[in-house]
Amino acid sequence: MTRTTAPRFNLYWFSSPQTFYPLAGKLVPWFAALAVILTLVGLYIAFLVAPTDATQGESYRIIFIHVPAAWMSMFLYVVMAFWAAVGLAFNTRLSSMMATAIAPTGALMTFLALWTGALWGRPTWGAYWVWDARLTSELILLFLYLGFIALQAAIDDPRRADKAGAVLAIIGVINVPIIYFSVKWWNTLHQGASVSVKGSSMATTMLVGMLIMALAYWMYAIAAVLIRVRTIILERERRADWVRELAAQGRLK
Amino acid sequence: MVVSLALGTPVLSLIGAVGAALTLGLRGGGVLTSLLVLPLYIPVLIFGSGAVGAAATSVSYSAYLLLLGAFLLFAIVLTPWLVGIALRISVE
């Protein structure tokens, strides 16, 4: 395989696994470092700077873990479905690999949101779990992630696995607006959103801490997905010339 | 209750058809189908049982039936198309 020179600026240059692999490898340490720094700053604000809540006392502090995880769980699903749909429509390999790589991180975020929500619900609502619209739809989201992973794992041919997973992911997108608007459409125990484009009903330090934690989750998710997509690229392209070339030169780190 | 069953059961079958088409010819396809399909069943079951509950306590249950009817129309329009895509992927 001859290596052409990189064009001046071409977004599609990095859309093939061969060119994306080294780029992802260069980006991972940066995102990982940012994730660590932002988490430390965010947790410092969360536990030491932010004031105690007037009605919920100290127990509200789990918001700094809970809300960013819930945001990420929904956002990652949309991103996953987007890449899966691109892979289905244009038959591009890398976008399907991205979708596969995002699924476990999304499932982790969903689980985290449900788990911290249960721990938060116990002191404030008196129950770990209620069949509330938002909790139920978030649980459905977890099953959609798990179904996507299980379906792809069950199909041996990766191309068929990508396409079947894409169909499931696209069907499941309908659940994301349901989660988001569930607190408006139904009378739920779960409170409405405290943060919106128009402003926030929280103290500023709380808001800043939460946004920093959300950024930290973003950085973590990007780093984790890039590491996973590199592994998937190697697994699927292991017979390609460029992988063998890199392996022979010992640059396959 | 008969009406809610009449509206809900076809929706469940249509969703099940998508799940079955996706897992066609796979080992352990049955278990996988239920994992894929059950989460999608939940809304139908919630509103179906909601209609029955509302009727049992003699409050208006038309909203539940209207929602079930909307699900049915959506399912009739979308699922044959999705089954078609899934089958094409399966037999490729």
pLDDT of B2-48, one tens digit each? Answer: 777 888 888 888 888 888 888 777 776 777 888 888 888 888 888 88
* Shortest Cα distance, chain B CAs vs residue A187, angstroms: 15
A7 in any annotated domain: no
Domain with A237, as residue range(s), is: 25-249
Query: Per-residue pLDDT tens for A130-143?
Result: 878 888 889 999 99
| Cβ contact A171–B82 (<8 Å) | yes
pTM: 0.84
CA separation for the pair A79, A59 (Å, rounded): 32
A128 in any annotated domain: yes
| Cβ contact B42–A160 (<8 Å) | no
- pLDDT value of position B36: 84
CATH number of the domain where residue A184 is located: 1.20.120
| Residue B25 contacts A where some CB pair is shorter than 8 Å | no
Checking if the pLDDT of A200 tops 70, the result is: no
| Cβ contact B39–A143 (<8 Å) | yes
pLDDT band at A83 (very low <50, low <70, confident <90, very high): very high
User: Which of A144, A150, A164 is opposite residue B89, by nearest beta carbon?
Assistant: A164
Instruction: From residue A26, give the alpha-carbon distance in Å to each of A15, A90, B76, B91.
Output: 16, 27, 48, 40
CA separation for the pair A72, A70 (Å, rounded): 5
| Residue B29 contacts A where some CB pair is shorter than 8 Å | yes
* Shortest Cα distance, chain B CAs vs residue A162, angstroms: 10
pLDDT band at A244 (very low <50, low <70, confident <90, very high): confident
Q: Exposure of A66 by Cβ count < 10 A (0-12 exposed, 13-18 middle, 19+ buried)? A: buried
What SS3 class is residue A108? Answer: helix
With beta carbons under 8 A apart, name residues in chain B contacting A182: none
Work out how many domains chain A is built from and give that number: 1
DSSP state of A46: I
Q: Chain B: residue nearest A163 by CA? A: B89
Q: Chain B: residue nearest A140 by CA? A: B39
Give the residue-averaged pLDDT of A83-87: 92
CB pairs under 8 A between A and B: 49
Query: Per-residue pLDDT tens for A86-119?
Result: 998 888 888 899 999 999 999 999 999 999 999 8
| Residue B83 contacts A where some CB pair is shorter than 8 Å | no
Q: Exposure of B46 by Cβ count < 10 A (0-12 exposed, 13-18 middle, 19+ buried)? A: middle
Interface with chain B: mutation pick from A168, A174, A179, highest number of B CBs within 10 Å? A168
- pLDDT value of position B9: 84
A68 in any annotated domain: yes
User: Which of A136, A151, A163 is opposite residue B36, by nearest beta carbon?
Assistant: A151
